[in-house]
Amino acid sequence: MTDALKIIPSTDDVSTGVRDTATIASGLADVLSDTYRLVFKTHAYHWNVEGPLFYSVHKMTEEQYENMFAAADELAERIRALGELAPMQLSAVMERSRVQDGHDGMSAFEMIEDLAADHEKIAHRLHALVELVESRKDPVTEDLATERSAFHEQAAWMLRALTKS
């Protein structure tokens, strides 16, 4: 094995003017964990939804999990840019996440309502992250959190709109 492959990931001191990077990175890791868990949950519902709205739900959930999968990379890379390590174990993702697994036998309506509620949970976490970074001179994380919150708020709205009769 070459020396290049022996390097172990580590934290770094970053001097960009952002204050309290470890706290910000921890907030980002929480959002990343929620996002990653909701990617799987959305994908699972995408695979298993049935009924008259199958195509609509199937297509909408596909767009959402693809967006969130890309966002997970952005969130993790922001953690690294702050000099911290992104979560490296699925158990850490599970522990940090507020998103909970669905249960077997859910109707399309229940799946949609469940996903909408999870998007709202993540939006709340992102709002808290915006408040956290405001006093810590981190406009990059603030912009990222604002952008992600807008996505989750819109996703919740679109999902809930499907359940209207």
3-state secondary structure of 43: helix
Does 33 reside within a domain? yes
Q: Find out whether 159 and 63 touch, Cβ atoms under 8 Å.
A: no
Does 158 reside within a domain? yes
- Tell me what the mean pLDDT of segment 4-20 comes to: 87
Does 72 reside within a domain? yes
Structure tokens at 63: 């767009």
pLDDT band at 8 (very low <50, low <70, confident <90, very high): confident
Domain count, the chain: 1
Per-residue pLDDT reduced to its tens digit, 18-37: 999 999 999 999 999 999 99
- Single-letter residue type at 6: K
Give the domain CATH number at 32: 1.20.1260.10
Q: Give the Cα separation of 91 and 89 in Å (integer).
A: 5
Per-residue pLDDT reduced to its tens digit, 110-147: 999 999 999 999 999 999 999 999 999 999 999 999 99
The whole domain housing 142 covers 19-97+105-162
